[in-house]
Amino acid sequence: MRIIQFRQALGEAMSEEMRRDKNVFLMGEEVGEYNGAYKVSQGMLSEFGYERVIDTPITELGFTGLGVGAAMNGLRPIIELMTFNFSLVAIDQIVNSAAKMMSMSGGQFPVPIVLRGPTGNAGMLSSQHSQNFESWYANCPGLKVVLPADPYDAKGLLKSAIRDDDPVVFMESELMYGDKGEVPEKEYLIPLGKAVIKKQGKDATLVSFGKMMKVAWEATQEMAKQSIEVELIDMRSLRPLDNACVIQSVKKTNRLVIVEEAWPLGSIASEIAYQVQKHAFDYLDAPIQKINSGDVPLPYAPTLIQEVLPNAKKTIDALNAVLYR
């Protein structure tokens, strides 16, 4: 297969779906003339024109509301948020309109909208531009939440999200746009709500998603040098959450560690831990360990950032803890 960047995989997914369905369009800040803040939409304006690749003012609440209305009237908008930190300006439209409209209308108004853009720490951007809101949105009935970890998943999941009749919050780790990976030239889809086992193992289960999969992968490789076989699961979708995949793995390995970039309170890791202890408590040979970012606004200084974020050492320590080493 060819090797392409994460940003290219996302751009291909959008372009292919726009060619397939004339009702799909892209709207957001700098998506057209500037080819996207992260160059995800490069070349799309020249192919699809100003009616389907729409530059907006810096008005997240306004253009997200336009997208919700368009979706209610039969279109399939892709709304690019320059960062999900800015989605807080539009959260009323996302949570109170997009997520609830199908239910409140008795099924008369589906809202097939995709809200996509970067999330999480991206280096020295300080507190207001380095946050993770996936657990916030995953806590809202009516939304689906996706966070891919590599170009292959990014393309397949985004195509499925665009075709979905429910609103999908599609988050992309900001430091991964330049990452490269294998992506088929032929069309493929990845269903929403299905986790994937990235590495088989028998000694412990390690669960993560998004760019924290890099941390998790590094930890599994280090443990392998000690003849410890860690089973690595990428959740990919955070709502629906594929608890069954994790539970089945824990029943085999009897130990669980979860790595997540977000703050610890009310996190995705907390929910996974609850589901495992509820459905596989008798299989656990050690308390579940979870690793989140520190419970503080992310600092600016790079030394402090490294102290706050999850890393391979913290993950290895947690794996050793559940293995009683």
Upper half-sphere CA count for residue 172 (Cβ side, 13 Å):
32
* 172 labelled catalytic: no
Residues 6+ apart with CB under 8 A from 190: 153, 156, 157, 159, 160, 236
Amino acid at residue number 219: A
Q: Which helix (H) or strand (E) holds 14?
A: helix 6-20
* Residue 118, preceding peptide bond in cis (omega within 30° of 0): no
- Choose the catalytic residue: 12, 80, 129, 261: 129
Give me the half-sphere count of Cα atoms (radius 13 Å) on the Cβ side of residue 295: 4
The C-alpha atoms of residue 321 and residue 285 are separated, in whole angstroms, by: 11
Instruction: Quickly list DSSP for 86-113.
Output: GGGGGHIIIIIIITTHHHHTTTS-----
User: Would you say the C-alpha torsion 293, 294, 296, 301 has a positive or negative sign?
Assistant: negative
60 carries an active-site annotation: yes
Starting at the edge strand found earlier in the chain, the sheet holding 24-28 runs 53-55, 24-28, 76-80, 114-119, 168-173, 144-146, 237-239
Indicate which residue of 60, 80, 231, 261 is catalytic. 60
Q: Report angle CA 90, 94, 95 to the nearest 5 degrees.
A: 115
Q: Hey, which residues does 180 pair with through a beta bridge?
A: 5
Reference 160, options 190, 194, 117, 116; nearest CA is 190
Q: How far apart, in whole angstroms, are the C-alpha atoms of residue 205 and residue 132? A: 23
Torsion of CA 82, 148, 7, 179, to 10 degrees: 120
Catalytic residues: 60, 129
